Amino acid sequence: MDSIIPKTGQKRIVLIGAGFAGLQLAKKLKKRNVQIVLLDKHNYHQFQPLFYQVATSGIEPSAISFPIRKIFQKQDNLYFRVTEVLSIKPEEKKVEIALGLIDYDYLVIATGAKNNFFGLKNMELFSFPMKTTSESLILRNRLLQNIEDAVGNNNEDVRKALLHTVVIGGGPTGVEISGALGEMKNLVIPRDFRELNKDEVKVTIIEAGPRLLANMSFKASLKTEVYLNELGVDIIKNARVVDYDGETLRFASGVELKTRTVIWAAGVAGNMVAGLKEGITGRGNRLNVNGYNKVEGYDDIFAIGDIALMTTDPKFPGGHPQVAPVAIQQAKNLALNFKEIIDGTTVRQDFFYHPMGTMATVGRNLAVVEFNRYFKYYGFFAWATWLFVHLMSIVGNKNRLFIFLNWMWNYFTYDQSLRLIIRTCNCKPDVKKVNY
């Protein structure tokens, strides 16, 4: 592996993960006298907050994905490899990847989070998560194929199950995809499927707690429920699901719902890498870190973003929320600390999260935004704020332009042309038949 990544005499920082935290840290280390080795199993950065729009045919997957190599074209101290990290070997200061072993002086884990199914094995098997672009595309295929299958099916029970989509989880992701599905029901079905009555299509969001968007104010929760009801989305609260076999969703109360599509948006857990000692993880399978993101029990391993559990911030004694602003701010702080760490000084700057506010969109002109306890607004201006913030967070000017044009087209025409069922093929072309 070291024959592929040359030794430069600089301290080597191996960075696992090219999400919000990983990208930000790599950029901030551009002018440092270090060698950065960035590892990710994808060759592109994924903008996770808009996965739900890919799943509901709102935008193309390419619009929220950006080639990692293009991002770092002008950064000479960075080497990037597309590979899967198999394990960490702290005693040898090596990372085992699919390509071999790679040495490190310092290791930064920014692997983010994965879906947490809370031990519900069948839910893991049969529900549809949205943690990657490919998962969003799979969900898009299922949603569109369900409608196509329902159009040609005369069995009323099967037809109802095909046209009933259930979203589990009342956080921002669950609310946003429920709202998007409600808009599909009201705007797409009447145009594309004249054989169907839009009232046949059902969207249900299920929350185990007493209200949606529990991390926001009570008013925001009420507004969200009103908006979802306007879109025809059914809301079930204080309900805990216990099983799903691909056709029947079962609750702890004994109630059952028939549905062919369950979308899982109920929880995440740290995306752990093998090889670290036991007992250093906390709530949500996240790595315990100190005030400047050093992993508990190690002097040369750090963790940032969703995988890190920091309890030293007095405003967040239970750990920071797993959102992009936290990941970005932690990466910036660690980049500043690396100068002191590499120089061998004892000066460190502890991390304190500065919240930028909380927001969620429900649909066209419908959103909730809360910057603090005093500055809150809802409706059209909140929706416009949500659009602006997310648009500016997209990597790449071309991607921003495409998404902006697509949003404007959708807004003024109430339609878009991305409702394509595209499946992968395992077949390989016959080389003899290819014309060169």
Structural domain spans, the chain: 11-41+83-115+268-343, 121-266
| pLDDT of amino acid 398 | 81
The C-alpha R_g of the chain, in whole angstroms, comes to 23
Cα dihedral angle (54, 55, 56, 57), rounded to 10 degrees? 40
User: Residue 433 has what pLDDT?
Assistant: 37
pLDDT at 425: 56
pLDDT of residue 79: 95
CA distance 13 to 350: 20
**pLDDT for the residue 339:** 87
Third-level CATH fold of 121-266:
FAD/NAD(P)-binding domain (3.50.50)
The CATH H-level superfamily of 11-41+83-115+268-343 is: FAD/NAD(P)-binding domain (3.50.50.60)
Question: How far apart, in whole angstroms, are the C-alpha atoms of residue 397 and residue 400?
Answer: 5
Q: How far from chain centre, in Å, is Cα 356?
A: 18
Spell out the residues 6+ positions from residue 140 whose beta carbon is closer than 8 angstroms to its own: 54, 55, 56, 57, 421
- Whether 11-41+83-115+268-343 shares its CATH topology with 121-266 is answered yes
**270 touches 287 (CB < 8 A):** yes
DSSP string, 221-259: HHHHHHHHHHTTEEEE-S--EEEE-SSEEEETTS-EEE-
Query: What distance in Å separates the CA atoms of residue 311 and residue 290, rounded to the nearest whole number?
Result: 8
Residue 56, classified by CB atoms within 10 Å of its CB into exposed (0-12), middle (13-18) or buried (19+), is buried
The pLDDT, as a whole number, for residue 18 is 95
Q: Residues of the chain whose pLDDT is less than 70?
A: 1-4, 416-417, 424-436
